[in-house]
Structure 1
Amino acid sequence: MRIISGKYKGRRISPPKGLPVRPTTDMSKEALFNVLNNHFNFEGLKILDLFAGTGNISYEFASRGSSPITSVDGDFGCVKFIKQTAAEYDFNIAVTKSDIFKFLERNNATYDIIFADPPYNFDQATFEKIVLLIFANNSLNDDGMMVIEHSKYTKLDHLTHFSFKKTYGGSIFSFFEIEKGEQEIDEETDGEEE
């Protein structure tokens, strides 16, 4: 596993064997960040990384100057490894060991980018629950973006706030945004009241 861009570009990170993870491949990760690069300047972005696993995606954001970053995973070994790596590279990553759904239900912070990489074998309803919880709790900033990585067997493009998807090998990234139309309506309403 290597960091593909930013301050620590090319740096290899070796997680211990036995972690219950399926890290995003370097090719998929590079493609993902090319898409995000067209929408964001990463410096100072507030990031939430769900099902963080080895921390692969969190390190990529940190290397590009995003801060603060919150990484959440339910596995003790994953959490321990991310904490160690963040300390080694002086990344501003806060690591939380938690069930993802419980975390989302009680979360009251908002983020510029939310990335989720759940186990591919989750059923359709479980994937949908992640999206619904994030928008029900207003966890995404108005001009932010949520990305969920999943297999071709999971379909998310019927959900509210779905924007577009990209396919790389066996992985699909579905992108969600608060619709521009909703923002424009809010702004018009505000204008009329003044």
Structure 2
Amino acid sequence: MRIIAGAHKGARLTSPSGANTRPTSDRVKESLFSMLDGYGVLQAANVLDLFAGSGGLGFEAMSRGAAQVDFVDSSLASLRALESNADKLGLDHSATVHAGDVLHFLSGLPGPSHPESRVFDLVFMDPPYPLGEDAVTQILSRLSTHLDMESIVVVERAARSPEPTMPDGLEVFRAKTFGETAIHFVQLVGESDAVAAAED
């Protein structure tokens, strides 16, 4: 696995040894980041990479101009790979690795009224395929309080899976299928008209 563009183009990433991860292919990654570039969401972005695995999406975002990435994973092998990749790329100062369950992490974030509340400009969410649709919706619901009207959530699922069920306040504004992989772009309700102009 490698970074395909930006400041760290060509850098090879360590993959979790013995872990059942599903890295995003270069073809899908290239198309995904081309669309994100079009939305202007990458530069100086505060990024959250859920179910991060080796961190391929989060580190790609940093290579292309993101300012900070929080990686979340519960697998020990993935956590080791994330820390190794951050060290290898010299990004320890702007990459934070969180060990644990995604829902538990989101539940622990300060709420919107708290002075230390977090808002993420870009969120990658590539849950394992066996994760039930209700759980996906619950994660999105928790996540919605840490977004603003310009934030984008990228949900990667199997093409054969149904479109994620949106909780109140969120909507899918674009979806693309690449072979066996489906990408759903999600924002707070009311922003889809604004991003439509950026679509090709």
Coarse TM-score class (shorter-chain normalised): 0.7 to 0.9
- Deviation (angstroms), 1:128: 1.5
Once the two structures are superposed, residues 72-96 of structure 1 have per-residue CA deviations (whole angstroms, 9 ceiling, x without a partner) of 0001121121112112211221000
Alignment of 1:33-44 (within 5 A): 33-44=33-44
Structure with more helix by fraction: 1
Distance 1:78 1:181, change over 3 A: closer
Match of 1:132 among 141, 157, 164: 141
Distance 1:96 1:157, change over 3 A: closer
Counterparts of 1:94 and 1:157 in 2: how far apart (Å)?
A: 27
Distance 1:150 1:67, change over 3 A: same
**Root mean square deviation of aligned Cα:** 2.0
Once the two structures are superposed, residues 24-52 of structure 1 have per-residue CA deviations (whole angstroms, 9 ceiling, x without a partner) of 11111111111111101522100000000
Identity %: 28
> Any idea what SS the aligned residue of 2:140 has?
helix
> Any idea what SS the aligned residue of 1:31 has?
helix
Stretch moving more, 12-21 or 55-64: 12-21
Give the number of equivalent residue pairs.
182
| Structure 1 match to 2:57 | 57
Matched, 1:164 2:174: yes
Is the Cα–Cα contact under 8 Å of residues 137 and 165 in structure 2 kept in the other structure? no
Match of 2:155 among 148, 159, 183: 148
Once the two structures are superposed, residues 147-188 of structure 1 have per-residue CA deviations (whole angstroms, 9 ceiling, x without a partner) of 110012332365242211111110111111123369x9xxxx
- Report the AA paired with residue 62 of structure 1: M
Q: Gapped runs of 5+ residues in structure 2?
A: 111-117, 195-200
TM-score in terms of structure 1 length: 0.86
Task: Name the larger-Rg structure.
Answer: 1
Counterparts of 1:110 and 1:175 in 2: how far apart (Å)?
A: 17
The runs of 4+ residues in structure 1 deviating greater than 6 Å are: none
| Structure 1 match to 2:89 | 89
Match of 2:132 among 123, 130, 148: 123
Counterparts of 2:122 and 2:79 in 1: how far apart (Å)?
A: 20
| Structure 2 match to 1:190 | none
TM-score in terms of structure 2 length: 0.84
Counterparts of 1:22 and 1:14 in 2: how far apart (Å)?
A: 13
- Report the AA paired with residue 30 of structure 2: E
| Structure 2 match to 1:188 | none
Is the Cα–Cα contact under 8 Å of residues 157 and 164 in structure 1 kept in the other structure? no
Q: Gapped runs of 5+ residues in structure 1?
A: 185-194
Counterparts of 2:2 and 2:25 in 1: how far apart (Å)?
A: 10
Counterparts of 1:64 and 1:181 in 2: how far apart (Å)?
A: 24
> Any idea what SS the aligned residue of 1:143 has?
coil
